[in-house]
Amino acid sequence: MKLLDFLKRERKKSASVAKERLQIIVAHQRSQRGQPDYMPMLEKELLEVIRRYVQVDDEAVNITLDSEDNCSVLELNVTLPKS
Amino acid sequence: MAKIIVVTSGKGGVGKTTSAAAIATGLALRGQKTAVIDFDVGLRNLDLIMGCERRVVYDLVNVIQGEAGLNQALIRDKRVDNLHILPASQTRDKDALTLEGVETVLNTLNKDFDYIVCDSPAGIERGAQLAMYFADEAIVVTNPEVSSVRDSDRILGLLASKTRRAERGEDPVREHLLITRYNPNRVDSGDMLNLEDIQEILAIKLVGLIPESEAVLRASNQGIPVTHDEASDAGQAYADTVARLMDEEVPLRFHEYQKKSLLSRMFGGGRR
């Protein structure tokens, strides 16, 4: 019986792993939902410009677009490496 | 005024055409004058599922390009009186559809029909966007499987932004979740996402749950929409779905694990 329980618990995992993975990816998709189509391109080009001067990782640049009532704020956050 | 319902999913092979055919048939069986339109230009299949593939003369693209009248292209269903099918073109490329052309066709159908069911192609390209653009309601067909759920979420994003209702700032498209190929036994053993989890992730209202069923393949083999198979679980589940679309309260069925009896195990009694 214990063996059966063990096997069953092992199997239970796959659906809950699926759920966890989906929750993360869907949250990420939704955060990008309202943003304009040019954002990925803008992000890429900004990164290129920054890299002309400083060598930074992809993760060191964080770009967010927040919309409030009638204005949008583009926030660019760059973590520069220690020189 | 017709209600325009798009059957969509993002991912291919989840049961859009099967569902569009079954739901359109169900609506017509309940006395609603229904047209079902195939938007999958180049890869039409609705005609096969509806069993009218040999009666296709003109198609949606012919109508849009003015080569045939709408009445010439509409195929009257053999089995149900109130049901008409508008097939997609098999030969043209998918750019043959235009927004204005689709609008004209829908406006004309609008006068005579109660429901217009639009069977969307897979993907999120032009064909899929045209199929959803004029929709009042959307049925998002989802399998209990990660890629299908993720793609359904992408489609929900498009429904909220790339439709006429969204662009005009009208009431949003009413979104319904239709889970297909659900296997309660695998859900019970923890190998399949359960319906509560899918609803929680996508956060839209469930309109129906279709169990994985042998009746579906049997129906498509014969070109008879599965709704006609009233003895089958899938046929009944689609009938329930249609009732819910018509705002009736129907309890959910076929979502619970059924233990096979010893007899049916011995004699291999599967699901009908």
How much is the CA Rg of chain B, to the nearest whole Å? 18
Average pLDDT over residues A22-40: 84
- Residue B209: both structure tokens together: 């749950």
Per-residue pLDDT band for A3 (boundaries 50, 70, 90) equals: low
Taking an 8 Å cut-off on Cβ atoms, the answer to whether A11 and B189 are in contact is yes
Helix B146-159 × helix B126-133 angle, to 10°: 60
Whether B67 and chain A come into contact, CB under 8 Å, resolves to no
Is B262 a domain residue? no
Query: Is there a contact between B73 and B63 (Cβ–Cβ < 8 Å)?
Result: yes
pLDDT in tens, A60-76: 877 877 777 788 888 88
| Cα–Cα distance for residue pair B98/B64, rounded to 1 Å | 8
Task: Note if the pTM is more than 0.95.
Answer: no
Which burial class, exposed, middle or buried, applies to B158 when counting CB atoms under 10 A from its CB (0-12, 13-18, 19+)?
A: buried
Measuring CA to CA, which residue among A37, A66, A63, A32 is closest to residue A49?
A: A63
Residue B5 has pLDDT above 90, yes or no: yes
Residue B134 has pLDDT above 90, yes or no: yes
Residue B87 has pLDDT above 70, yes or no: yes
Q: Which amino acid is at B123?
A: G
Which of B145, B150, B177 to mutate against chain A (most A CBs within 10 Å)? B150
Residues 121-180 of B with CB under 8 A from A: 145-146, 149-150, 153-154, 157, 160-161
Nearest CA distance, A43 vs chain B (angstrom)? 21
Q: What residues are paired with B76 via a beta bridge?
A: B84
Is B271 a domain residue? no
| Cα–Cα distance for residue pair B21/B180, rounded to 1 Å | 14
Angle at alpha carbon of residue B211, lines to B146 and B133, rounded to 5°? 60
pLDDT in tens, B35-48: 999 999 999 999 99
Task: Determine the pLDDT at residue A6.
Answer: 63
Residues 200-229 of B with CB under 8 A from A: 201-202
Total domains, chain B: 1
Taking an 8 Å cut-off on Cβ atoms, the answer to whether B146 and A22 are in contact is yes
In which residue are the tokens 């569009």 written? B20
Taking an 8 Å cut-off on Cβ atoms, the answer to whether B154 and A22 are in contact is no
- Find the CATH number of the domain harbouring B218: 3.40.50.300
Nearest CA in chain A to B158: A33
Task: Determine the pLDDT at residue A5.
Answer: 66
Task: Determine the pLDDT at residue B248.
Answer: 96
pLDDT in tens, B175-216: 999 999 999 999 999 999 999 999 999 999 999 999 999 999
Percentage with pLDDT > 90 across chain B? 89
Task: Determine the pLDDT at residue A7.
Answer: 60
Size of interface A-B (CB pairs under 8 A): 47
In this structure, of B8-12, B110-114, B179-183, B255-259, the range with the lowest mean pLDDT score is: B255-259
Average pLDDT over residues A27-36: 80
pLDDT in tens, B49-67: 999 999 999 999 999 999 9
Nearest CA in chain B to A7: B189
Domain architecture of chain A: domains with CATH: 21-79 (3.30.1070.10)
| Cα–Cα distance for residue pair B110/A57, rounded to 1 Å | 55
The beta-carbon neighbor of B193 closest among A8, A15, A26 is A15
Task: Determine the pLDDT at residue A10.
Answer: 54
Q: Which domain holds residue B113?
A: 3-253
Is B264 a domain residue? no
Measuring CA to CA, which residue among A31, A18, A82 is closest to residue A56?
A: A82
| Cα–Cα distance for residue pair B34/B16, rounded to 1 Å | 17
Whether B253 and chain A come into contact, CB under 8 Å, resolves to no
Task: Determine the pLDDT at residue B229.
Answer: 97
Residue B60's Cα: distance from chain center in Å?
Answer: 18
| Cα–Cα distance for residue pair B22/A56, rounded to 1 Å | 55
Is B55 a domain residue? yes
List C-alpha distances in Å: A15 to A4, B9, B109, B157, B171: 18, 21, 44, 24, 35
Taking an 8 Å cut-off on Cβ atoms, the answer to whether A29 and B157 are in contact is yes
Residue A56 has pLDDT above 60, yes or no: yes
What is the separation, in whole angstroms, between the first and last Cα of chain A? 62
Chain B residues within 8 A of A6 when measuring between CB atoms: none
More confident residue, B71 or A4: B71
Note the ipTM here.
Answer: 0.84
Residue B150 has pLDDT above 80, yes or no: yes
Measuring CA to CA, which residue among B62, B80, B63 is closest to residue B21?
A: B80
| Cα–Cα distance for residue pair B159/B135, rounded to 1 Å | 9
Per-residue pLDDT band for A31 (boundaries 50, 70, 90) equals: confident
Q: Which amino acid is at A62?
A: N
Is B7 a domain residue? yes
Query: Is there a contact between A26 and B153 (Cβ–Cβ < 8 Å)?
Result: yes
More confident residue, B264 or A28: A28
Is B132 a domain residue? yes
Measuring CA to CA, which residue among B37, B35, B34, B89 is closest to residue B58?
A: B89
- Phi/psi class of residue B51: alpha, beta or left (left: φ > 0; alpha: ψ in -120 to 50)? left
Whether A19 and chain B come into contact, CB under 8 Å, resolves to yes
Q: Which of the 8 DSSP states describes residue B113? A: -
Whether B194 and chain A come into contact, CB under 8 Å, resolves to yes
In this structure, of A61-70, B98-107, B220-229, the range with the lowest mean pLDDT score is: A61-70
B205-211 and B174-182 as β-strands: parallel, antiparallel, unpaired? Answer: parallel
The H or E element containing residue B26 is helix B16-29
Taking an 8 Å cut-off on Cβ atoms, the answer to whether B191 and A15 are in contact is yes
Percentage with pLDDT > 70 across chain B? 95
Is B30 a domain residue? yes
In which residue are the tokens 């859900």 written? B187
pLDDT in tens, B262-271: 666 667 655 5
Is B20 a domain residue? yes
Taking an 8 Å cut-off on Cβ atoms, the answer to whether B201 and A23 are in contact is yes
Nearest CA distance, A17 vs chain B (angstrom)? 9
